[in-house]
Structure 1
Amino acid sequence: MVRRLAKEQVNQLPLYGGLKLSDIKIIETELDAYEAKSALESESHLGFDTESKPIFRRAESSPGPTLIQLATDSCGFLFPVKFAAALSAVRGILSNQAIQKVGFGLTGDSKELRKLNIDIVNTLDLSVKLKSLTSDKNPIGARAAVAMVLRERLGKGAQRSNWGQYPLQQHQILYAANDAHAAICVKQGLDRLLR
């Protein structure tokens, strides 16, 4: 039913369409936070991901995520944790038991979020779900999952960029929002396949 594609097969797939810049909201102010919470609290499932400032020295440790991303199937929300309003709003959403947060490799994200005093609840780790469905030995990340389920190629060009800088560049905004968006789309695709 679903199986991992070879790297060569993935490279032949069309690029993931995902969200456009006009579909993405960056949360900085109290008003932004209020509008984001209002929009997101009515959802039963949200795509989720985080980005952290890169660490270059061995003795250095991550202070936690610098950006937290949430997405519906039509809109992405980026929460830079440097803004108190953004951090407060996203903390409320991530700790909301009524909303399932869907992403990849959530164990690491959960550990990093605790550094910001955020406990994420009601999660679905698609890496674990896909691994059990395929009996694959290796973890299945976002790029592999998008190829397997959606038959598209998720670009990972901005993955290693400096997430500690602000404001974010356009390619970072698109990358971050679409990582969360891809998670919700893969979940919906899997739901259709497993019916």
Structure 2
Amino acid sequence: MTPAAPPPLPEREQIALLEPFEGLGLRDIRVVATLQQAQAAATALLAAGVAGFDTESKPTFAKNEVSGGPHVVQFATLREAWIFQLHHTECRETLAALLASTALAKVGFGLSTDLSLIRQRLGVDPRAVFDIDTEFRRRGYRKSVGVKTAVALVFNRRFVKSRKATTSNWANRQLTDAQIRYAANDAYAAMRVFDALELTVPNAF
């Protein structure tokens, strides 16, 4: 018996008509700037066991320009998010430990470039990473499913990604409120989709 085809992916025009997805507000987002804050974030994340995960890098516009990213690494549970800025060197060891830890499953969308940049910049090989797109492929979708399409498919909501924030300077020492919300909710939306699909991360990493 042939398996039933999955529901069709929503088109961009259909997504544009949906009600917006409600993300985290600034009060639920922690910008990690000190070793103490980094350790508190690690404690909370390891207790959760799984977190939405993403990175942001300063965009490049010239042909041979190198971004030097990632400049921001973010994690989110179902209730709050943490943003690590890599210019805070005192936080890097804790961040690297989180990335390498198999006690924290890190879930997101389209993570291959993020992982490559992390290896280059931090010299750590991230472990316990799960790209949610692989689950959509397992369910029969041939096209890659990103966070915007996944949010529309799972929640019937429109995930708003500001192009201005996307192309902003993520290497800035002081992030704007818009950047903070953008980064946190990239990770948060992935966590919400992972949770709604009732997924578990494979044991072998």
Instruction: Give TM-score scaled by structure 2 length.
Output: 0.88
Q: Secondary structure at the match of 1:154?
A: coil
Q: CA deviation at 1:67?
A: 0.1
| Corresponding position of 2:23 | 18
Correspondent of 2:137 among 128, 131, 136: 131
Deviates more, 1:83-92 or 1:8-17: 83-92
Which one has the largest radius of gyration? Answer: 2
Cα pair distance change 1:46/1:2, threshold 3 Å:
farther
Q: CA deviation at 1:33?
A: 1.0
| Corresponding position of 1:164 | 171
Cα pair distance change 1:38/1:2, threshold 3 Å:
farther
| Corresponding position of 1:38 | 43
Cα pair distance change 1:54/1:28, threshold 3 Å:
same
Please state if 1:61 is matched with 2:66.
yes
Tell me the distance in 1 between the aligned counterparts of 2:159 and 2:47: 28
Q: Secondary structure at the match of 1:144?
A: helix
Q: CA deviation at 1:64?
A: 2.4
Structure 2: tracts of 5 or more residues without a match: 1-5, 200-205
1:150 counterpart letter in structure 2: F
Tell me the distance in 2 between the aligned counterparts of 1:86 and 1:142: 28
4+ runs of 1 displaced by more than 6 Å? none
Q: Secondary structure at the match of 2:198?
A: helix
Q: CA deviation at 1:66?
A: 0.1
Q: CA deviation at 1:82?
A: 0.4
Q: Secondary structure at the match of 2:51?
A: strand
Alpha carbons 2:87, 2:173 under 8 Å: kept = no
Please state if 1:122 is matched with 2:128.
yes
Deviates more, 1:180-189 or 1:33-42: 33-42
Count of aligned pairs between the two proteins: 191
Q: CA deviation at 1:49?
A: 0.2
Q: CA deviation at 1:182?
A: 0.5
| Corresponding position of 1:91 | 96
Please state if 1:191 is matched with 2:180.
no
Instruction: Give TM-score scaled by structure 1 length.
Output: 0.92
Q: CA deviation at 1:128?
A: 2.1
Supply the RMSD in Å over aligned alpha carbons: 1.4
Structure 1: tracts of 5 or more residues without a match: none
1:179 counterpart letter in structure 2: D
1:114 counterpart letter in structure 2: R
